[in-house]
Amino acid sequence: MAYKAELFVALQRVLPKQALSRLVAKAAESTLPWLKNALIKRAIKAFNINMDEALTSNLDDYKNFNAFFTRELKSGVRPIDIAADSIASPADGAISQAGNINKNKILQAKGIDYTAERLLGNDEDAKRYYEGNFATIYLSPRDYHRVHIPLAGKLLRTRYIPGALFSVNDITAQALPGLFTRNERLVCEFESEDTGTFAVIFVGAILVAGIETVWSGFEAPGPGAVRDTDFSDQALNFLKGDEIGRFKFGSTVILLFQNQVANWEDSIHANAVVQMGQKLGSVNKAQ
C-alpha cells in the first residue's frame, strides 16, 4: 500500500497539474449539448451520483458540466442542525482528520502534520488558532459541491494563496507531507459574536476547475503572489448553513476554531461520512 501511495504521488509530481486542470476546466465550461451531456452521464455512472437529491435531473437544465457538478439540491434534503450552539458541517464528504491543534501543528494523517502558519500564509493570523480545534473534510467527485458556513458570522477577510494542485484524497494525504499547504487555497476568516474568529479554508486539487465564493465569484489564479482582501467594512453577514462558495470538482474544506471553542461529536473521526448541515460539534460561547 505504501509503495502504491508513493508511486501515485510521484506520478502527480511529473504531471502538468495546472495545465491539465485548466484544460479540464475548458471542457467543463463547454455548452455544446453533446459534450456536456456526455460528461454528465459519464460522471453520474462513474461516481454513482444520486440524482434523486438534485433540484433537477433533466440534463438539459444544466448549461455545462460545471453547472451540473455544482448542482443545487432539493429543499430539505440537507437540513441544517438548529441547535443554537451547534457547528454544522460545511459540506458533504468524509472526515479526513479532526481534533485539537497541538500549539500550531495540525494533523494531516498518521505521523504527518503541518503548521497553521503554512496553511494560513500568515504568522500573526495563525497565532489566533494555537491550541484550537480543526476539522478537515474531503469532498469526493460524487458529493454535493456547495460549501456552507458552519456558524453564523460576518466575513472579515480572505487570502488567496496560489500553489500546486495535488490530489487531496486519502492516499495522497498519507504520502505527501504538507499536502494542504502545497495546494492552491482560499482562506476565509469570519467573526462570530459567540466564538470570536473562525476560518473556513477552500483547498484546491488536481482537476479542480476553480473555487468560487458568493461575494467575489471565481477566484482567478494570480501571477503567483498571495492576494489579501479586506471585507471588514462590508456587511457580509451569513446565517448558519448559508452558502458561501463552491468547488468545481472534488476537494477539501478545513475548519479552524480558536482555543476552547469547539467540541467535536464522538462520531467525528477519520473516515466518518458527513453531510452538509449535520452537527459536527458544539461551541463554547466566548465570555
Rounded to whole angstroms, the Cα distance separating 240 from 81 reads: 9
Rounded to whole angstroms, the Cα distance separating 97 from 116 reads: 15
Active-site hit among 86, 89, 167, 251:
251
Is position 251 annotated as part of the catalytic site?
yes
Candidates 89, 67, 69; CA nearest to 79 is 89
Active-site hit among 81, 96, 148, 192:
148
Q: Which residues of the chain form beta strands (DSSP E)?
A: 86-88, 93-100, 105-109, 112-115, 133-139, 146-148, 153-161, 185-192, 196-203, 211-213, 217-218, 227-230, 237-238, 243-247, 251-257, 262-264, 273-274, 279-283
Active-site hit among 21, 81, 92, 167:
92
**CA 105 distance to own-chain centroid:** 19
Q: Active-site positions? A: 92, 148, 251
